[in-house]
Amino acid sequence: MEKDALIQFTIPTASAVRIKSPYSESNSYIWHVYANVQDIPDNIPTEVNPRKTNMHTKVATMMENGLEKNDHAFYKKNRGILLSAEKISNDMGTLKISMGHDNDDDRSKYGILDGGHTYRAILNKRSELDPDNLQFVHLEIMTDIGDIDEMASARNSSIQVNDKAIAELAGKFDFVKNAIKKEAFKKRIAYKQNEADKDIDAVDLVRLMFAMNLKRYAEGSFKQPIQAYSGKAQVLKDYLSEYDRAEKKEKSDNPYEKLAVLLPEITKLYDRIEIDMPSVYRKANNNGQFGRIKGVDTKGGKTKYSEEKLDYQISTGLIFPILGGFRALIEDDGDSFKWAVDPLEVWTKVAPKMVSNTISMSRQLGNNPQSAGKSIPLWAQNYDTVATEKIKLLYVKR
């Protein structure tokens, strides 16, 4: 395909329905479609999906076997494929779908968000199906998605619901609750399934602690806590594993229990980064247009924890590599973790460099905040920036 060429294709549908967003100010639509697997295009972009497809797993094998089984049930037994599209039109039961152009910008926004394994199973096996084995797949196609990497991450972090429910029932979030008991956002934390009135997942707090886990990612480590951004399931698994391991000891050494007491400051730092990034960027870039940065939405909103007004919504792929750098300020005195220096004080010193580092890396990686969020060099660079400033401040305060 010629570089920057238009990526579009048609899909005949057995059944299709278009649903408009329930919010009157939104122009987004969702199409729910049943399509014959033989009609699925083989050139749908997959770069926007944060997961790599591994067709050597038991689940992938079961998908392929289910496709070959002539029971007319593949569409019911499989979650289907979720796509982000630029434009969709319906011509007498055939959808014409535009995925933008063949460039890094559009490939970071349009394509398969979830269901990459289903897509690969279809491409691998459909030519081997018996002629009378008609199989269909469910397609969910969205337009006008705001924070694309947040959507991709949410749809691809298939945490077993029971894990979180069991953790709550077993009291494994008790020290987290105690740590934030004086914070205004405490009533907005969802510790159980179907708490629709609460807008902060308890696992989001675990992600913050994972990003600051001094025990797992000590100074000098070549590894970085990128799963805080990219993998809710892995983060929760680590949290539960550390809890169970520490519970067997006479004296708990659970790093999450030590980190929980720092959550009030960590959440304030997260919000402060969100608030300050636009002005810091403009000041460092001669009033550069922050709203044109990939991963920045000009619709505005509120900060995640303090609910302060925001002019922009910023991809977490740009926030977490900055937040994770402040792990350099945490010290372990044996019984607890503590700040060597006030993180908000350090932020005022390092903000220009960290914001520039992060935006620059995102651009180098194809203007892709998802890739920035998973960039080990970026996380390490930001960590070193904070560590250097810590040394300077501690020297001055001697």
Q: What are the pLDDT digits (tens) for 182-199?
A: 999 999 998 876 677 888
Q: Is the pTM for the entire model greater than 0.85?
A: no
Q: Under a CB-based contact definition with an 8 Å cutoff, are residues 269 and 382 in contact?
A: no
Output the pLDDT for position 161: 41
Q: Under a CB-based contact definition with an 8 Å cutoff, are residues 351 and 275 in contact?
A: no
Low-confidence ranges of the chain (pLDDT < 70): 1-3, 49-52, 146-170, 193-194
Strand pairing report for 189-190 and 200-201: parallel
Q: Under a CB-based contact definition with an 8 Å cutoff, are residues 111 and 86 in contact?
A: no
Strand partners, 36: 136
Question: Hey, where are the domains in the chain?
Answer: 6-145, 161-396
Output the pLDDT for position 279: 95
